[in-house]
Structure 1
Amino acid sequence: MANISVASAHWEDSLEEGFGTISAESSQLFTEAPYNFKARAESQVHITTPEELLGAAHAACFSQALALFLGEKKLVAKSIDTTAEVTFDVVDGAPTVAKIHLKNVSDIPGLSQADFAEIAEYTKNNCPVSRALAGVQEISLEAHLA
């Protein structure tokens, strides 16, 4: 079942003065979306960052994995809403994705908050993107039933 997704990035000029574009080659969902280093330090409308894209991937992966793990328990969510807050900072003198905080609110009939918290924590630790990001110093989770 191996599937290869392809994305690309183009960059010009120095880090501080430079600019680039990012494209989702496989899906063509976006092509030549602008990004720059300044947007990583200061929020800029209409300019993405690698961290924002990483957060979108992590939120999407968590939501899908939660649906999978719920299904294994014969549960189906009415809705799963996940947000990922990705912190880009300097750690030990190096630019670093320092932490990721996942926020999830799900509507799952017939599930207690305690059982949901256990499944959500398992999902945080086992979704493919969490596993790929195991080197991130902190991945935290705030999960609530709607």
Structure 2
Amino acid sequence: MIRKANAVWNGSGRDGAGRLTSASGVLTEANYGYKTRFENEAGTNPEELIAAAHAGCFSMALAFGLQAAGFTADEIRTEAAVSLDPDGQGFKISRSALTLRAKVSGIDEAKFLEIAKGAEKNCPVSKVLNAEITLDAKLES
């Protein structure tokens, strides 16, 4: 399986602007640039997209882990907070902090945390990130 996206950039790093397009069409010339990455201008940035990918991947991995253990989630809500930190002359993604809140009928806290930690370690996006990954998981009633 191969998934594709394209970036087009025009201009310098600080004053230039880019557009991101995904093969699926979900992103169609989505604006990104210095101000969307380091300030709060409307548009997206690579870290936001990595956070969305990590939250989605982890949630799906958790759903599969729960299914394999005989459970079905009523709801899985995951936020991924990706940190971009200075690194020498550039930057690095140093951390992805996952915050999970889930409703799963019939599961105890220990089993839930075991499955959630397995999903954290085994989702493909977790595996590709060379960063600290933390998980704050809570089972809700």
Match of 1:130 in 2: 126
Q: Deviations over 1:62-121 (max 9, x none)?
A: 010001111110111011111110111103443011111011111101111222111111
- Deviation, 1:39, is 2.1
Aligned to 1:34: 31
Amino acid in structure 1 at the alignment position of 2:37: R
CA distance in 2, matches of 1:40, 1:127: 26
Gaps (5+ residues) in structure 2?
none
The structure richer in strand per residue is 2
Gaps of 5+ in 1: none
- State the aligned residue count: 140
RMSD of the TM alignment (CA)?
A: 1.1
Identify the match of residue 7 of structure 2 among 6, 9, 14. 9
> Taking structure 2 as the reference length, what is the TM-score of the superposition?
0.94
Structure 2 counterpart of 1:144: 138
What is the correspondence of 1:1-146 to structure 2 with a 5 Å cutoff? Answer: 3-25=1-23, 27-44=24-41, 46-133=42-129, 135-136=130-131, 138-146=132-140
Q: Could you list the structure 1 runs, at least 4 aligned residues long, displaced by more than 2 angstroms after superposition.
A: 91-94
| Aligned mates of 1:94, 1:118 — CA distance in 2 | 37
Provide the secondary structure at the position in 2 that maps to 1:78.
strand
Counterpart CA distance in 2 for 1:72 and 1:109 is 15
- SS for the counterpart of 1:9 is strand
Contact 1:77 1:106 in 2 (8 A): yes
Scaled by the length of structure 1, what TM-score is found? 0.91
Matched position secondary structure for 1:29: coil
Moved more, 88-97 or 70-79: 88-97
1:126 maps to amino acid: N
Identity of aligned residues (%): 39
